[in-house]
Amino acid sequence: MGNVSATAILIDELRRCRMTRGLNQEEFGRVISYSGTHVSAIETGTRPPTPEYVRAVDKAMSTGGLFARLLEKLPPLDRTPVWLREWIKIEEQATSLRWYEPSYVPGLLQTEAYARASLWASGMATGEIEAGVKSRIDRQAILNRENPPKLAVVLDANVLTRTTQDSRKMMREQLDHLIAAAGLPHVQIHVVPAEAGLYPGLQGGFALATLSDGLVMGHVDGQVRSQVLSMAGDLANLEATWEFTCRSALPARQSLLLIEEVAKTWT
């Protein structure tokens, strides 16, 4: 029992609440105005319970707000999907991180407004967006701790010019944030310019974490879920892609100048 997470306890109680009423997941979903598939995702831990979801359960089951109170007590990590928690723990233990992104600013360097916009653009349910934003911002604490990991980031130039709903203010703030981050001694940012043409990294974003014992772990984001990689072959492919991508990127100083130049266009 000592290893059971607070989220697991909450999910178990939600499942027990449904079962004691003699309802299957489809029936329970109709009662709380959610699909049976959504109920199943909550109960299997592939989707985190949101404030909206637990309030719907509290209201339909007349619990007096029990589940809402339990959710409020969960630590931030427990509010993230199960499949993402493993990588977040690896981030916290890493001595160095290498992160390549062809489409978005990496989560560790996102502003709150950019995080919210990117989650909205990804199609995340409205009720889950704020929890996702909080999780991303909380993760950034590793960059401000006493012994932060070394962070090397490579961005495709398109990241600097892509926004949503023409939010110029958001993009200016985000690029200013990147400029400030690049000034930190443990952060290095490189940009692959448009002139580089096609290169291996465009197949998708990924991250590599090196732990204190030298062990390297990888992380890739897919359309359905993210995945932690530890197989030697997978890591060798990511390492090779990282090296080829870095060769296409500008040096740190030139990258910073490019970010500053593009930031002015968002004024």
Cβ burial of 156 (10 Å; 0-12, 13-18, 19+) is buried
Regarding pTM above 0.85, the answer is: no
Q: Angle between the 126-139 and 82-93 helix axes, to the nearest 10 degrees? A: 10
Q: Is 237 helix (H, G, I), strand (E, B) or coil?
A: helix
Instruction: Note whether 181 and 155 are within 8 A (CB).
Output: no
Residue among 84, 68, 76 at smallest CA distance from 133: 76
How far is 209 from 222, CA to CA, in rounded Å? Answer: 18
pLDDT digit string, tens, across residues 86-114: 788 899 999 999 999 999 999 999 999 99
pLDDT tens-digit readout, 122-167: 877 777 788 888 889 999 999 999 999 999 999 999 999 998 877 8
> How far is Cα 26 from Cα 116, in angstroms, rounded to an integer?
31
